[in-house]
Amino acid sequence: MLRSKLTQAACAAVQRTFSTSPKVLATKQLTVRDALNSALDDELARDERVFILGEEVAQYDGAYKVSRGLWKKYGDKRVIDTPITEMGFAGIAVGAAMAGLRPVCEFMTFNFAMQAIDHIINSAAKTFYMSAGAVNVPIVFRGPNGAASGVAAQHSQCYAAWYAHCPGLKVVSPYDSEDARGLLKAAIRDPDPVVVLENELMYGVAFPVDDKVVDKDFVVPIGKAKIMRPGKDITIVAHSKAVETGLLAAAELAKKGIEAEVINLRSIRPLDTATIFASVRKTHHLITIENGWPQHGVGAEICARIMEDQTFFELDAPVWRCCGVDVPMPYAKTLELNALPRVHDVTEAALKVLGGKAGKAVAAAK
């Protein structure tokens, strides 16, 4: 297919632009937790206006130990324990940002940030526009987002779509250590409010990182996706922990001779449609994975974006979404396991989307 060949050439350039942390250069292993911790440490050291506040961030060393050691190093002024009053401390953080500081407001989890969402949207996101560009609000809201393990419905929800819905906010959602470190540092330096959606289940996972990632000036640009694995047959777009599902699915598909390209969104807003579109122009097939609910979700937005773009005509099959099941998260282990998209769900979706092509690919592989 001519169209396919032309776009492949274009995409080759894109692939080179987005490094995939080549393992040959990797000098050390870094957990996502340490990546976040070192990012906070760097930025506290770099800018006197940066401070952290939240529940248990100081003396307890962080509910998930993300801020471990920082209170000892920077003291009461820079690392502030709050009472369990999300709306109040989020408002205080936003007020401090309006008045020139650079708060990093930690929510123990984003489930609790619903108590404070008014300040995230109405106080932080809208003020720059409402004031006609007079008052910008440089603040970071961060914490674990999405389903953890065995914590049931009120503690297992993805807020990516909620925040990404709102103009005035930037929303990032790191997957690995490079993402976590680079995106958090970029978020703290950004003059606008940034929501950093982490994942508790990833905190303890170590990833190889090369020297540039641990450099104090390393940042990951907000709004740029990363191709984690190049491929020519189908594009898989995911963010946060779902990237792992995507990579595992891609490995399974590879056994069937199908080369899936896995895109790690990194940013939910801005959404890097350029990278997604370029990939689709190459693969002509697309599935999305997210651990959030389907309706009005990140995948739904990607579908809409594709349909409104010329890229729609590059598709050889409908886009398909792999999402969390449309129910509140149950506690029971088996039910919970079935509530999120798993690797076999993704491979099944991929085979469905590829249709007859999947058979051809399998035959070719043999």
Partner 1 sequence: MLRSLSRISELPIVVRQLQKSASAAQGGLSKTSTNNNYATEATIEVNRPFKLHRLDEGPATTVKLTKDEALKYYTQMQTIRRIETAAGNLYKEKIIRGFCHLYSGQEACAVGMKAAMRDVDNIISAYRVHGWTYLMGVSPNGVLAELTGVQGGCARGKGGSMHMYSPNFYGGNGIVGAQVPLGAGVGLACKYKGNGGMCLALYGDGAANQGQVFEAYNMAYLWKLPVIFVCENNNYGMGTSSERASCNTDYYTRGDALPGIWVDGMDVLAVRSATEFAINYVNTHGPLVMETNTYRYSGHSMSDPGTSYRTREEIQEVRQKRDPITSFKELCIELGLITADEVKAIDLKVRKEIDEATAFAKSDAELAVSHLWTDVYSNNLEPKLRGPISYNLDHIQERKGVNH
Residues acting as catalytic residues = 86, 155
The terminus-to-terminus CA distance of the chain in angstroms comes to 22
Write out the DSSP string of 123-147.
IIITHHHHTTTS-----EEEEE-B-
Cβ atoms 75, 110 nearer than 8 A: no
| Closer residue to partner 1 (CB): 33 or 266 | 266
**What is the closest distance, in whole angstroms, from the C-beta atom of residue 309 to partner 1 in the complex?**
8
| Closer residue to partner 1 (CB): 92 or 317 | 92
Q: Where does this chain bind partner 1 (CB under 8 A)?
A: 51, 77, 80, 82-83, 85, 87-101, 118-119, 122-123, 127-138, 167-168, 170, 190-192, 221-223, 269-270, 308
What are the CA-CA distances from residue 177 to residues 70, 78, 204, 233 (Å)? 19, 24, 10, 28
| Closer residue to partner 1 (CB): 138 or 230 | 138
* Most distant CA pair in the chain, distance: 65
| Closer residue to partner 1 (CB): 48 or 211 | 48
Cβ atoms 250, 287 nearer than 8 A: no
Judging by DSSP bridges, how do beta strands 79-81 and 226-229 pair with one another?
unpaired
Cβ atoms 124, 95 nearer than 8 A: no
**What is the closest distance, in whole angstroms, from the C-beta atom of residue 124 to partner 1 in the complex?**
10
The 3-state DSSP class for residue 174 equals: coil
As a whole number of angstroms, the distance between CA 156 and CA 332 comes to: 13
Residue 325: what residue type?
Answer: V
**What is the closest distance, in whole angstroms, from the C-beta atom of residue 37 to partner 1 in the complex?**
22
As a whole number of angstroms, the distance between CA 323 and CA 288 comes to: 8
Rg (alpha carbons) of the chain, rounded to whole number: 21
As a whole number of angstroms, the distance between CA 187 and CA 364 comes to: 45
Handedness of CA 114, 116, 122, 125 (dihedral sign): negative
**What is the closest distance, in whole angstroms, from the C-beta atom of residue 249 to partner 1 in the complex?**
29
* Omega before residue 270 within 30° of 0, cis: yes
| Closer residue to partner 1 (CB): 167 or 356 | 167
| Closer residue to partner 1 (CB): 143 or 168 | 168
**What is the closest distance, in whole angstroms, from the C-beta atom of residue 16 to partner 1 in the complex?**
21
**What is the closest distance, in whole angstroms, from the C-beta atom of residue 355 to partner 1 in the complex?**
30
